[in-house]
Amino acid sequence: MKTSKILLTFALLGTLTVANAQERLTSSEAKHYAQLTRQNPSLLANAPLHVEADLEKAVAIAMDDLGGLLIPRIDLSEGSESDVGTEPIAIGELWLRNLTLEKNGWGISSSQLNVVIVNTEEGRVRAPRCILAVSKTDDNKPVLMIYGKNEQPLLTLPLSKVQKHQAKPLDMVASDDGKVDLCINGQYQASFSVAELYL
């Protein structure tokens, strides 16, 4: 599976900055696509963790036929991730367009993803929906967990301390080398990669 030429930098709960060929969608466009994901709530009910999504604060990017949409949890506030324990707490959703997560250098197969059919102006789209969660390890180190369709996360990533300014709770920055940095409230950051996946 070919790694897409995309770098996504997510600062959960904030603004999206885009580099190179990435296009940042307007707030109204991102909100529109977020609302489309709620066409059939029953399709979202079987997720490993429940998320009360804040559609007003969605951010989205696109490059040709590739894209990503981030939707934070509705009550996610600065500092809320510092109170978590070893049980995962959902903080938002990541929706992908013709992309999948990478693990050990390979794209994760669609059989492990929660693929949802969404009706858009361009037709029916099969989009993987991932749940984002945070927790702490037994030795009290924070981690980001990304879930697909199963109870076990697809990825568990260490969160390191950072200091970044964010205007909103969810921030996504994109460049062109397949790496992904996700930053929560400008305070914690994790990294992963994405690969092309056409469904």
Q: How far is CA 17 from CA 13, 27, 73, 92, 166, in A?
A: 13, 13, 20, 19, 11
Give me the tens of pLDDT residue by residue for the chain, a chain 199 residues long.
Answer: 444 433 343 333 333 343 445 688 999 999 999 999 999 888 899 899 999 999 999 988 888 888 889 999 998 776 556 578 899 999 999 999 999 999 999 999 999 999 999 998 888 999 999 999 999 999 999 999 999 999 999 999 999 998 888 767 777 776 777 787 777 888 888 888 989 999 9
Question: How open is the CA angle 91-92-94, to the nearest 5 degrees?
Answer: 140
Cβ atoms < 10 Å from Cβ of 62: 19
pLDDT value of position 79: 58
Which amino acid is residue 73, in one-letter code?
A: R
CA–CA gap between residue 13 and residue 174 (Å, rounded): 15
Which residues lie closer than 8 Å to 12 by C-beta, 6 or more apart? Answer: 70, 72, 76, 91, 92, 132, 169, 170, 171, 182, 183, 184, 185
Q: Are 128 and 37 in contact (CB under 8 A)?
A: no
pLDDT value of position 78: 62
pLDDT value of position 73: 93
pLDDT value of position 43: 85
Could you state, in order of their start, the residue ranges of all structural domains in the chain?
7-196
pLDDT value of position 82: 59
Q: Are 52 and 96 in contact (CB under 8 A)?
A: no
pLDDT value of position 12: 36
Length, in residues, of the chain: 199
Cβ atoms < 10 Å from Cβ of 83: 7
CA–CA gap between residue 7 and residue 176 (Å, rounded): 5
Q: Are 136 and 86 in contact (CB under 8 A)?
A: yes
pLDDT value of position 63: 82
